[in-house]
Structure 1
Amino acid sequence: MPSKESIPAGLPPLDPRRLAAVREQLGLTIGQVAWAVAAFRGRPLHPALLTAWEQGTEQPDSDEIAALAAALWCAPTDLVGEPRNLLQCRTFAGLTSQEAAAATGLTHHRYLEAEARNRWRGTPEQTAAMVAALRPPPAVYVDACGTTGRLRIAARDAVTGWWPNHLGALRRLVPVDVHVLEQALSRLHGTYQQLQSRAEGDGAAAEAADREAAAFLDRIDAHLWQALRDSAA
């Protein structure tokens, strides 16, 4: 399997589900796509390797992702996962670093520094411009702003208590539509309350539910990101 360094610097790794979906939408077989990729690259590609890419057991390198996109008549961004940092967000947005700096109101040097460190330190106006230009997923935005710890506390308070009381705090941390956030919090609150209800009894089943509830809170940020994706879909 290629090392992480072989993945395109400005793109996340291939998403096997997206690759399979694009191929199936075009009505192409594994063999046909393997032939097209081989023709683009000028060297053979065994269909078994393409199958491994679709199953997620192997990861293509940068040249192979480019060849896949060419073979499937799509952009490389159509085949990879969600952006994980500011650089990948800029790549998805199709902007150069100079264009991103201009759009966000930063000097080119300051923008490059923010992207290299994946840390955002802008004014409210610059931050709003960054969100509009780069469209970062909530997880990327919170991580870049360095507020993951505050987010976890607010999210835990929301799902263990009465979530509407914590909506304002989370809205200040996560730049998403309020209705999407409300749906996500309501869903997470319901899930946690069900776990707590199962943990109130005695015996092994209650102990297992208690452990599951604790594990749910330990990963509350990941659960929130997925709930936001589901609510926005």
Structure 2
Amino acid sequence: MSPVSRPAAHARQPGPPFNAPAARRLRVALGMTPGHVAQGLRASYALAHVTPDLVNAWERGALTPAHAELTALAGVLWCSPAELIGRPRTLRECRIARGLAPEDVARAVGHEFTAYTRMEQSGQWRGTDRQCAALAELLGLSLPDLVTVTGREAELADLLRAAARTRWQAYVKPVGRIVPLDRRLLEDALQELHRDYQGRMVATLSWGGGSAAGEASDAGDDFLDRIIDAFWTSLRERTV
């Protein structure tokens, strides 16, 4: 594969989060090769730098299309740009997906511009409850997405794993600082996580040694790996 070369303007200004699997799926459904896509981008959208290797790099997730590239790619694949945009995982990606400038967000949530840009660069949000609420409203964030884009998902996952392994009651308040919901709701969700995990561990002990015990232990590890999803699912079931 030859080196991928892109104009500096495109390389410096990546677009919103890119759904690489969707791009490949749409291309295959149209019976097109990466070469066909590259040809369409060059001929119809004057993107002379696009090669089959660049299209492949996008589909592998090695590179992200810039805004102009993504819009043109949507045209070639006969889809809307929204179909090629993945779920935003950072504050910057959410802002870009909404088409907002950093100064717009800083002003709306009541942060100094330089302070806000530092938070985007570091991936760590520093704001009051009121500012968090303003950010969520401006960017259209659900509570799970707000936790993710403000850089607190890893901290939440660590707390949830500890609650599942040990005394869940000790983690209600720390989890509540990240997920500002009714205490009773959090208590029920943490208790459920603890019960589910401990049930898996009891199964491990009851099987003794051998492959069955190993499978039960693996199930416990898998549960801890997916504990964020289990937590949000538990909360959704209690609020519908």
What TM-score range do you get, normalising by the shorter chain?
A: 0.5 to 0.7
State the 1:129 CA deviation: 0.4
User: Which residue does 1:118 correspond to in 2?
Assistant: 123
Name the residue aligned to 1:89: 94
The answer on 1:100 being equivalent to 2:102 is no
Q: Could you tell which deviates more after superposition, 89-98 or 15-24?
A: 15-24
Q: 1:173 to 1:226 in 2, by over 3 A?
A: same
With the length of structure 2 as denominator, give the TM-score of the two structures: 0.64
The change in CA–CA distance for 1:227 and 1:65 in structure 2 (over 3 A counts) is farther
Structure 2, gaps ≥5 residues long: none
User: 2:210 aligns to what?
Assistant: 204
Structure 1 match to 2:179 = 174
Tell me the equivalent position of 1:78: 83
| Distance (whole Å) between structure 2 residues aligned to residue 212 and residue 22 of structure 1 | 35
Gaps of 5+ in 1: none
Could you tell me whether the CA contact under 8 Å between 1:11 and 1:80 is conserved in 2? yes
Determine helix, strand or coil for the equivalent of 1:121.
Answer: coil
Contact (CA 8 Å) 1:139, 1:225: kept in 2 or not?
no
Against the structure 1 CA distance between its residues 195 and 49, is the aligned structure 2 distance closer, same or farther, given a 3 Å change threshold? farther
Cα distance per residue 1:56-78 (max 9 Å; x no partner) = 37645436434313333422x53
CA distance 1:30–1:159, shift in 2 (3 Å):
farther
Q: Deviations over 1:75-115 (max 9, x none)?
A: 2x531322222111101122111211121122223222222
Query: 1:86 and 1:195 mapped to 2: Cα distance?
Result: 36
Change (3 A) 1:129 1:78: same
**Mapped partners of 2:120, 2:141: distance in 1:** 12
Trace 1:7-46 onto structure 2 (pairs within 5 A): 8-12=13-17, 14-20=18-24, 28-30=30-32, 34=37, 35-38=39-42, 39-43=44-48, 45-46=51-52
Deviation at 1:30, TM superposition (A): 2.1
**Cα distance in 2 for residues equivalent to 1:214 and 1:66:** 41
Q: Secondary structure at the match of 1:199?
A: helix
1:144: Cα distance to partner?
2.9
- Assess if the C-alpha contact under 8 Å between 1:199 and 1:207 holds in 2: yes
The answer (yes or no) to whether the contact 1:10–1:87 under 8 Å persists in 2 is no
Give me the TM-score of the superposition, normalised by structure 1: 0.65
Q: Which has the larger radius of gyration?
A: 2
**CA contact 2:16–2:85 (8 Å) conserved in 1:** yes
Give identity over the alignment, percent: 26
Name the residue aligned to 2:138.
133
Number of matched pairs? 220
Structure 2 CA distance for aligned equivalents of residues 160 and 119 of structure 1? 27
CA RMSD, aligned part only? 4.6
